[in-house]
Chains A and B, each alone.
Chain A
Amino acid sequence: MTEIVTESILSVAGLSASIAGQQVVEDVSFEMLPVGVTALLGRNGVGKTSTLRAIMGLIERSGEVTIAGQRVDREPTHRIVQRGVGYVPEDREVFSSLTVAENLRLAERDSSPNRQLIHELFPDLTDRAGQLAGTLSGGQQQMVSLARALVNDNRVLLVDEPTKGLAPLIVMDVAKALERAAQTVPVLLVEQNLQVVRMLAEKAIVLEGGRVVYDGSAEELLSNEALTKELLGVA
């Protein structure tokens, strides 16, 4: 209990990345909170997804990425994940030709996966274990995608627009699942739904044109209508 956290769980310094020769992340630096939710915000196309993909090693990148004090920016994706990174990609990316159970089994890295937690959070998935993931609704697919990350004990979660395209009621289910997860593991959350951001995030980082333009309290940002409108294009 007296141990002092000296290094942040995930920090990024001078991160740049390009897709097909086009630079989409430019010299991005930030640090995640060691607990709770850090929001990564910005309008469409500013490079939020690309930033997460660069951290994961899914696109070519340069700069420093540090996870729990270890440089990981030269490592292949699977090694980075094995260090305890859970990734919930934009658009869910469930394996549609695999069953729900197979999607989860594939994701299990630990010898004692958190199956009980998954069952509590998403009882629906237990009932649909044998169903092909491609035949699930968007909300159910998002549950599978979240469950794949939560089934392991991770050091950090990277979650990309988990409420995108979901019905309002389901949005709240997803937000609650994230809230519960964030009690045990810090979350870097890309999210367009500001209500969800308000509910979950303490810190916010805002990108514009691939660069960081805001790094501070989420509450201060969202309570300042003019700033929110300027940076996020919405109030």
Chain B
Amino acid sequence: MSTIILLLITGLGLGALYFLVASGLSLIYGLMGVLNFAHGSFLTLGAFAGWELARRMDGSSWGTLIASLVLGMAVGAFVAAATEFLLIRRLYNRHIEQVLVTVGLALASVALFEGIWGTDAIYVTAPEWLSQTTEILGARVPNDRFLMIGAAVLVLLGIVAFLRYTRFGLIIRAGVENRSMVTALGIDVRKAFTVVFAIGGAAAGLGGVLASHYFGYVSPQLGGSLLIFAFIVTVIGGLGSLAGAAIASVVVAVLQQFANYFWGGTGDLMVVLLLAVVLLVRPTGILGKKA
């Protein structure tokens, strides 16, 4: 029983990280049809920014952790918005070129990060509490899981509220359904593109700082390794569906944990099998729109 609780909560924590990356991927794809392969770079940069701040302050204090989370978000949002504004926007509706540019950016940024911070993993310090455990139904659960889950839930609620209650949110929801009709109502939908990139980048930057605490280190590869699973999650959840991304994040991460423990480390294999099954049975994903 305690093993199951531990796997479940660890899976939820990992799922929270997947969601922080997948939410942005899904929103960006839903509105613009852009598969943003550079999204992992926003995460990595957020993680390094958080670490750079933490090492200049008292890394074990809560204030530092919160400041580094906020900085990670801000850096992610800024870099993502700049990427949209300077690169993606010029390739409006040219999907092949968009993929080439975002893939190129992802590769180039990893090289840049290696140039600045080196190729080795850098270990991070965190408040004591995060490395301690809490006993739940006999399972000793590492506390950092709760931080991940709490942050992802807040981000999910925040994005839902933004989409529901703001004018930009209204434009984004309408644009996901019929972009050209939004422009035919006199709205410059490109502003919404920048906003969506900024939101996705903020979630990824936050995810970067959290991931550095989950794994215990930052490295230039951090974003790329999470991005693969985030893309799988986005496809399983249904491209463009935020709720689908949330559900699929949890399903994929929990499956991964259980398969790793019970079926001899086959977690990644199971995830790929799940992806294959979903694509065969329901090609649009769990909550995706029919094409």
Interface size class of B (residues with CB under 8 A): 10 to 19
Report the minimal beta-carbon distance from B192 to chain A, rounded to whole angstroms: 11
Report the minimal beta-carbon distance from B219 to chain A, rounded to whole angstroms: 41
Looking at A28-36, A87-95, A122-130, A224-232, the stretch in contact with chain B turns out to be A87-95
Q: Top 9 closest A-B pairs, CB basis?
A: A81-B186, A77-B183, A93-B181, A95-B174, A78-B183, A78-B188, A82-B186, A107-B185, A87-B184
Residues of A close to B186: CB separation below 8 A: 78, 81-82, 109, 152
Report the minimal beta-carbon distance from B171 to chain A, rounded to whole angstroms: 7
Residues of A close to B173: CB separation below 8 A: 95, 97-98, 102
Residues of A close to B189: CB separation below 8 A: 78
* CB closest chain-B residue, reference A158: B184
B177 at the interface (CB under 8 A from A): yes
**Residues of chain B in range 154-200 having any CB-CB distance to chain A below 8 Å:** 170-171, 173-174, 177-178, 180-189
Residues of A close to B180: CB separation below 8 A: 58, 77
Report the minimal beta-carbon distance from B139 to chain A, rounded to whole angstroms: 41
The answer to whether A81 touches B185, judged by C-beta atoms less than 8 angstroms apart, is: yes
Q: A58-B180, A93-B184, A95-B181 are known contacts; what are 6 more A-B pairs with Cβ within 8 Å?
A: A58-B184, A77-B180, A77-B184, A95-B173, A106-B170, A106-B185
20 A/B residue pairs, CB under 8 Å, sorted by A: A56-B184, A58-B183, A76-B183, A77-B184, A78-B186, A78-B189, A81-B183, A81-B186, A89-B184, A93-B181, A95-B173, A95-B174, A95-B178, A96-B177, A98-B170, A98-B173, A102-B170, A106-B171, A106-B174, A152-B186
Residues of A close to B181: CB separation below 8 A: 89, 93, 95
Report the minimal beta-carbon distance from B109 to chain A, rounded to whole angstroms: 31
The answer to whether A93 touches B185, judged by C-beta atoms less than 8 angstroms apart, is: no
Report the minimal beta-carbon distance from B18 to chain A, rounded to whole angstroms: 25
A148 at the interface (CB under 8 A from B): yes
Known A-B contacts A98-B170, A98-B173; A93 and B182 likewise in contact (beta carbons under 8 Å): no
* CB closest chain-A residue, reference B189: A78
Complex CA gap A93/B178 in Å reads 8
A105 at the interface (CB under 8 A from B): yes
Report the minimal beta-carbon distance from A21 to chain B, rounded to whole angstroms: 16
Report the minimal beta-carbon distance from A161 to chain B, rounded to whole angstroms: 16
Known A-B contacts A102-B170, A106-B171, A106-B182; A78 and B187 likewise in contact (beta carbons under 8 Å): yes
The answer to whether A81 touches B184, judged by C-beta atoms less than 8 angstroms apart, is: yes
The answer to whether A97 touches B177, judged by C-beta atoms less than 8 angstroms apart, is: yes
Report the minimal beta-carbon distance from B105 to chain A, rounded to whole angstroms: 26
Complex CA gap A81/B189 in Å reads 13
* CB closest chain-B residue, reference A82: B186
Residues of A close to B178: CB separation below 8 A: 93, 95
* CB closest chain-A residue, reference B191: A78
Residues of A close to B188: CB separation below 8 A: 76, 78
* CB closest chain-A residue, reference B289: A97
The answer to whether B177 touches A95, judged by C-beta atoms less than 8 angstroms apart, is: yes
Complex CA gap A148/B181 in Å reads 11
Residues of B close to A82: CB separation below 8 A: 186
* CB closest chain-A residue, reference B176: A97
* CB closest chain-A residue, reference B187: A78
* CB closest chain-A residue, reference B180: A58
* CB closest chain-B residue, reference A148: B185
* CB closest chain-A residue, reference B182: A106
**Residues of chain A in range 27-78 having any CB-CB distance to chain B below 8 Å:** 56, 58, 76-78
Residues of A close to B185: CB separation below 8 A: 81, 87, 106-107, 109, 148
Complex CA gap A79/B188 in Å reads 8
Report the minimal beta-carbon distance from B163 to chain A, rounded to whole angstroms: 11
Report the minimal beta-carbon distance from A106 to chain B, rounded to whole angstroms: 6
